[in-house]
Chain A
Amino acid sequence: MDRLSAAVGRRALVGLVVGCVVFLIGPVVLTFVASFFESWAGVGPSGPLTLTHWAQALGLAETVGASRGLGTWVVDVPATGLAVRIPASLAFSVLLALGGVGVNLVVGIPIAYAVTRYEFAGRDWLNTVAVLPVVPGIVLGIAFLRTYPNLPSAVALVIGYSLLKAPYMVLAVQSSFESMDLRRLEETARSLGASWPRTVATVILPNAKRGILSGSIVCWTLAAAEFNFSYVVYSRGPKPFSLFLFENISNNPFQRAAAAVSIYFLIVAGVTALLRATGERGFSTGGVQ
């Protein structure tokens, strides 16, 4: 056993890491590559290269099941007689997720500050509730269905997104706060004559910028793809992005689904790059769905 572990252990673990990376990333790369091919027959994608699937998924080209493309606004350009298609549904989803982030900024930063800076009764309890996604998305969705039946889908979705993703904001901001000597920063600013609100606005928040930024980015990405809650709660209006993905995956030919999913890969890849720029290595603040 001993000699075996010395000889094989390291190699086995490195093999495990390589295997997992292939298992996790291989299909992502394949999907992306396949979305540019005409078809997939046999072991790999085949046929000539084409942008048709992307145009259809983005809603820039007419399709039979047009509703499964990202909905579009057709704008007539005056004088030229041309009609320009704008992927409006995508823009709407971007806004919905941004709304969730907006609520989380208002809700998450103060609570993160309160539990990091102050000692008070019920602090541990509040901290646990704030950093642990206590209600699963699908249960929250069922609860929302009956409680707020007349709430427009967009409002319900923003509330749900902010609730479900608040822990990620709180965790990210908290880790920034924890790396600062909050008490001393605050006391110094106060003793120099700044009021408490002014201290928070001009000293504390600017110092926590990195955490706030990475928290917002993570929240936004996760909200844009939040499916479980959206699926139960959505009733009418422009579709959120995750439902567009679902319809493509469950109803469309493989190639178009691949293009639709690839749109999201591009978003996540961009966001990962952004996160690295703020000093985070990928979605390390994310933990529980």
Chain B
Amino acid sequence: MAALDSEETGLRERAATTALPETERDRERRRIAVLSLPFLALATFGAFVPLVEMVRVSTSTSSFAVEGFTLSAYRELFASILAYLPVVGDAVVPGTDPVYGAVIWNSLWFGAATTVVSVAVGVGIAHALEKYDLPFEGAVVTLVSFPISLPGIVAAFMMIVLFGTTGVLSNAVAVLAGTSPDAVALTGQPSGSTKAILGLFFGYLYSMIPRATFLLRGTYAEVNEDAEAAARSLGASPWETFRYVTLPQIRPGVVGAVILTFRTALAIFGTVLVLKALSVITFRFDQEIQVGFDLPMASALATVFFAFTLLFTFAGLRFTDAEVAEA
């Protein structure tokens, strides 16, 4: 108790000296407080309070006001996730609609698949940009970074330009194969069909490849080139050099890029909203709010989604020691 008291007076003293500083150390503390205050205020009222409110809405018994307390949205959500599991689902929660389980599974596998491809392509581009003396390198860097500024809805439009029924590629393929463009188009196909999902896959890549490339360029800049040169002069082939010298050095960067690109993949919304090819979590939010106006359910789903992203990112970054600042 005494320890607690002294700690409390210590805190109070520190607060007092921060407000009315006496020593240089106090003044520094006041400066840190003053400098951090605007950001903390924005984060509190802009993010923290709304997120807490969102959690409360997810346990509300009404869609129109925050009242009562129920975990029914979460029960429904987790029952649905269970129901999606093969064999186990039917045995534990028979007759439950597995829709949320399906939505979460879609987000995870699609995000993982697009992340793996984007980071692999990113490694290739970063390698070529860093190791080879390419002509127009500055222009290539600018062009590859251009899509970072484009919102997901524009990425979707780019896919329509390439793969839609009036798209360049689908028309070119149709002419060569002698079929109608409708048959080969990837966008505008029924939701869930292989072609539609492939179109969405490219839409995700459009947003993620530039991001992955830039995360990896930072990593490549720190690679020890002497070790590579030594490996080459000792007779290693370029592939061996990459496999045994370069790759171990860039591994933390690759893992960091995978984590941050996967986050991006999970958060993509505009592209799915336009292409409507696969029901992922972000797309489901829209349906919950616009169609069903089930705010508690949308909030519960958003809470789980947010908690997952947060834990995944921090655990992942801590685990790998990847540079967050490269983001």
Contact = CB atoms under 8 A, between A and B. Distances in A.
Interface in A177-206: 196
A138 B260 contact: no
B166 to A, nearest CB: 5
Q: What secondary structure prevails in chain A residues at the interface with B?
A: helix
A85 B152 CA distance: 30
Which 10 A-B pairs have CB atoms at the shortest separation, nearest pair first?
A: A5-B239, A282-B145, A143-B50, A2-B237, A114-B35, A136-B267, A287-B327, A27-B158, A143-B54, A110-B35
B65 to A, nearest CB: 9
Contact of A232 (B128, B142, B289, B299): B289
B225 interface: no
22 contacts: A1-B237, A6-B239, A9-B239, A14-B134, A20-B144, A25-B143, A27-B157, A27-B158, A107-B38, A113-B35, A142-B289, A146-B54, A159-B42, A196-B31, A227-B153, A227-B270, A246-B273, A246-B274, A271-B149, A282-B142, A287-B327, A289-B211
B151 A242 contact: yes
Contact of B121 (A20, A145, A174, A250): A20
Interface stretch (B4-12, B69-77, B108-116, B168-176): B168-176
Interface string A233-248: 0000000001001100
Interface in A202-232: 218, 221-222, 225-228, 231-232
B46 interface: yes
B197 interface: no
Contacts of A284: 141, 145, 214, 217
A238 to B, nearest CB: 18
Contact of B215 (A40, A163, A287): A287
Given A114-B32, A249-B153, A289-B264, A24 B53 contact: no
Given A132-B313, A142-B285, A126 B36 contact: yes
B166 A254 contact: yes
B134 to A, nearest CB: 7
Nearest to A264: B154
A69 interface: no
A44 B285 CA distance: 37
B268 interface: yes
A52 B42 CA distance: 44
A288 B146 contact: no
A140 B47 contact: yes
Contacts of A110: 34-39
Contacts of A261: 154, 157
Interface residues of A, number: 99
Interface stretch (B86-94, B244-252, B304-312): B304-312
Interface in B163-193: 166, 168, 171-172, 175
B51 A14 contact: no
Interface string B290-320: 0000010011001001100110011001000
Nearest to A104: B42
A280 B129 CA distance: 17
B119 to A, nearest CB: 13
B121 A138 contact: no
Given A2-B239, A171-B325, 10 more contacts: A1-B237, A20-B121, A111-B36, A120-B32, A130-B39, A131-B325, A142-B298, A218-B149, A287-B211, A289-B264
Contacts of A174: 325
